[in-house]
Amino acid sequence: MATNSVVSALADLMKSEEYSDLTFACKEQTFKVHKIIVCGQSPVIKAALSEKFEEGCTNVISMHEFDVETVKQLVQFFYTGDYDDASVGCVDVNNEVGEASSDSDQPDGGANSPTSMPKSRPAASTESLTTHIKVNSIGDYYGVTKLISLANAKVKELIERENERDGSDAADSAWVMNLPNATELATGSTGDPELLSILSAEIAKNLSALILVNDFKNLDIAPDFAFMVFEASAKESQSLMMQIQDMEDQRLQKERETTAEIAILKSNNQRGEKAAMKVQGFADRLRKIVANVGTMARQVS
């Protein structure tokens, strides 16, 4: 992993756009980048810049099929190895990607301003999932494998955090209710099997709540993904059965331990009763001896 100083230098180069020799065009915005930074991370872009294609002559890569924010995050990853998620509220301005002049006129407190108020947690979480799916999609499209892995890692982290927060209230969770939309976005925009596997597992985990949701009932998914959900559901059921079996084994073990402890206590109690009877017998004999001695003493006197 690059050191902080190297990342900082690359981030400065990204923002300054000095000596750039390649342009990413998206909607009304352009991003000036450097071939030496980009081509080593994207074999697709590298191939597109060959003399066989128009991009090799114009040095412009058209990315109009993606959102501007998603292209911005792609550029940010190329230079820093990470990307910001604007949906969580505050964005690190030190890692901000240089934007076209249309963004420079944005008033303070805009969507990407560090002073903007954070969104509510459920809304931020669902938007974050959408963000990471879109980043995965652009990474998959341009063959940026490390970006795909990073986006998937962020999705997994988000899922773990949401599952810990929601607990057993899955039916009332905005996160769970958004899963059909997220699934539709993923299946329609990326061919990454790992992301689809992650989402299918999350759907399987919350299937009892999702079957009541119209968006899920109306979800048009490919047979392959449906099978992934079925497979994940089977694994989830197997995992629950194993947990139940473990709990039953623990209960039986505890029951055996308790039974053994009770037996020991009874045994100790029985030995104690026998010892008490012996002491009582000894005390009775001692009293008789004392009484006999007293009788003999009176007779002598």
Report the domain count for the chain. Answer: 2
Is pTM beyond 0.85? Reply is: no
pLDDT reported for residue 275: 74
Q: Check whether residue 91 and residue 144 sit in a common domain.
A: no
Q: Is position 2 within any domain?
A: no
Q: Check whether residue 123 and residue 217 sit in a common domain.
A: yes
Q: Is position 208 within any domain?
A: yes
Listing DSSP states for the chain in one string gives ---HHHHHHHHHHHHH-TT--EEEEETTEEEEE-HHHHTTT-HHHHHHTSTTSHHHHH-EEE-TTS-HHHHHHHHHHHHHS----GGGS---GGGPPP--HHHHTPPTT-TT-TTSPPPPHHHHHHHHHHHHHHHHHHHHHTT-HHHHHHHHHHHHHHHHHHHHHHTT-GGG-HHHHHHHHHHHHHHHH---HHHHHHHHHHHHHTHHHHTT-HHHHT----HHHHHHHHHHHHHHHHHHHHHHHHHHHHHHHHHHHHHHHHHHHHHHHHHHHHHHHHHHHHHHHHHHHHHHHHHHHHHH-
Q: In order along the chain (301 residues), what is the average pLDDT of each group of 10 residues?
A: 68 77 95 95 95 90 96 96 76 45 41 45 80 97 97 94 67 75 90 91 81 67 60 59 71 80 80 75 76 73 63
Q: Is position 65 within any domain?
A: yes
Q: Which of these, 202, 118, 111, lies nearest to 152 by C-alpha position?
A: 202
Distance CA 9, CA 1 (A): 14
Q: Is position 291 within any domain?
A: no
- Domain's final residue, options 50, 74, 101: 101
Q: Check whether residue 144 and residue 215 sit in a common domain.
A: yes
Q: Is position 299 within any domain?
A: no
Distance CA 242, CA 256 (A): 21
pLDDT reported for residue 265: 82
Q: Check whether residue 215 and residue 189 sit in a common domain.
A: yes
Q: Is position 229 within any domain?
A: no
pLDDT reported for residue 102: 42
Q: Check whether residue 171 and residue 213 sit in a common domain.
A: yes
pLDDT reported for residue 137: 98
Q: Which of these, 173, 201, 196, 177, lies nearest to 185 by C-alpha position?
A: 196
**Which domain range does residue 174 map to?**
119-221
Distance CA 116, CA 108 (A): 8
Q: Is position 110 within any domain?
A: no
- Domain's final residue, options 221, 253, 269: 221
Q: Is position 250 within any domain?
A: no
Q: Check whether residue 47 and residue 80 sit in a common domain.
A: yes
Q: Check whether residue 129 and residue 174 sit in a common domain.
A: yes
- Domain's final residue, options 174, 201, 221: 221
